[in-house]
Structure 1
Amino acid sequence: MVVLAASIISKSGKALVSRQFVDMSRIRIEGYLAAFPKLVGTGKQHTYVETENVRYVYQPIETLYLLLVTNKQSNILEDLETLRLLSKLVPEYSYSLDEEGIGKTAFEILFAFDEVISLGHKENVTVAQVKQYCEMESHEEKLHKLVLQSKINETKDIMKKKASGLTKARLRRIEVTREDLCHCNQVLEE
């Protein structure tokens, strides 16, 4: 099985989220996605459509389609299993199954897609495992941000100390200059 792309598109064919898993031009994927709504007939009970080059395996999600674009040699049963898993993940990451909800959670959905499909092949994972993997990445990201913030704070402290040191050095120079000025005034008065 080779999944070329996993996407969430509107009924009109607008791609809301799309992740390609094989080396293919963006224009080609966009062409496949744009052609899909024209191929889907209303009232049909099928969950796939085949063309000369690819197979579309899809599932309606309210006003959207969850869509896998695969090659024709892929195993349709594995494709359907992958689609089923993705259809369980989308509601887990998106608070609403409309264009706005999908748009706001696009990166989380894409990260989940990446955990399910690697290089076009389905990974043997469950919904719980995908959620755990995505949370682990989030934890690592938070840890990285904390380390980065501590470095920034440390640098700010060093800058404050240096600025304070420079201010003290200027004040010393000013005092020395005042002392020199006072000494010069004394010499001139004598």
Structure 2
Amino acid sequence: GARGTERDRGTPPGAMVVLSACLTSKNGKPLVARQFVEMSRIRIEGLLAAFPKLINTGKQHTYVETESVRYVYQPMESLYLLLITNKSSNIMEDLETLRLLAKLVPEFCPELDEDGVREQCFDLILAFDEVLAMGHRENLNLQQVKTALEMESHEEKLHQMIRQSKINEAKEEAKRKAVSIDQNKAQRAKAGLSGSSSGMGGG
């Protein structure tokens, strides 16, 4: 766990580290947030809570800085797509990443509102993970990310199918065992009955 925080503190200039990628409502309520470095929940919640106050200054910038971090953001209908990065991060790369994520989000979440995001939060987190590994941008384009995610979901489906068939097999096996136990009982009962009726108590 310490590696993430070290990287957070001692990042060489120009190395990009995204601390978190989030989708928030227009008033700054986090709907889905993915952390890429070790951060306490209190710190990330504090950073997210500060965001709406910073953008209400009327400036139309796509990023805003505080003493410790930079917020790079883009409005998306009733939402904000937001990257929180450290200040030594390369702003051009950050904007590039933001653009890629902005193309990806509607692919997985056609309804760009709070309910839509909640429904698709798992896919969105997977998409964030494809684009950003350990807070560093992967050099991928939209198609590569989509392909990777399709493969993942395909593997997941296969995995589920295999698991389901194993469960079904186990159920069938249990049924067969139950049936054979019942048959054994019936046979034993018959044997017992025929035995006792002929006067030979099975002692």
Given the two structures, how large is their TM-score scaled by the length of structure 2? 0.87
Distance across 2 between alignment mates of 1:167 and 1:66: 62
Runs of at least 4 residues off by over 2 Å? 41-45
Alignment correspondent of 2:25: 10
User: Is 2:149 aligned against 1:134?
Assistant: yes
User: Is 2:85 aligned against 1:102?
Assistant: no
2:147 maps to amino acid: Q
Alignment correspondent of 1:36: 51
Distance across 2 between alignment mates of 1:92 and 1:133: 14
Distance across 1 between alignment mates of 2:60 and 2:180: 77
**What does the per-residue CA deviation read over 1:47-98, in whole Å, with 9 as the maximum and x for residues that have no partner?**
0101111111100111211011011111110110000001001101002001
2:190 maps to amino acid: E
Alignment correspondent of 2:179: 164
1:10 maps to amino acid: S
**What does the per-residue CA deviation read over 1:91-117, in whole Å, with 9 as the maximum and x for residues that have no partner?**
010020010101110110110000000
SS at match of 1:39: helix
1:180 maps to amino acid: G
Distance across 1 between alignment mates of 2:191 and 2:56: 91
1:82 maps to amino acid: T
Alignment correspondent of 1:188: none
Distance across 1 between alignment mates of 2:62 and 2:41: 25
User: Is 2:67 aligned against 1:52?
Assistant: yes
Q: Deviation at 1:43? A: 4.2
Extract unaligned runs of 5+ from structure 1.
186-190
Q: Deviation at 1:147? A: 1.2
Distance across 2 between alignment mates of 1:63 and 1:163: 57
Distance across 2 between alignment mates of 1:32 and 1:51: 10
Distance across 2 between alignment mates of 1:138 and 1:169: 46
Residue range with higher mean Cα deviation, 66-75 or 162-171 = 162-171
SS at match of 2:85: strand
1:30 maps to amino acid: E
User: Is 2:72 aligned against 1:61?
Assistant: no
Q: Deviation at 1:122? A: 0.5
User: Is 2:175 aligned against 1:151?
Assistant: no
Q: Deviation at 1:45? A: 2.2
Identical counterparts, % of pairs: 61
How many residue pairs align between the two structures?
A: 185
Larger radius of gyration: 1
Instruction: Say what the alpha-carbon RMSD is for the aligned residues.
Output: 1.3
User: Is 2:141 aligned against 1:118?
Assistant: no
SS at match of 1:184: coil
User: Residue 173 of structure 1 is aligned with which of 180, 188, 193?
Assistant: 188
1:179 maps to amino acid: S
Alignment correspondent of 1:84: 99
SS at match of 2:198: helix
Distance across 1 between alignment mates of 2:39 and 2:196: 78
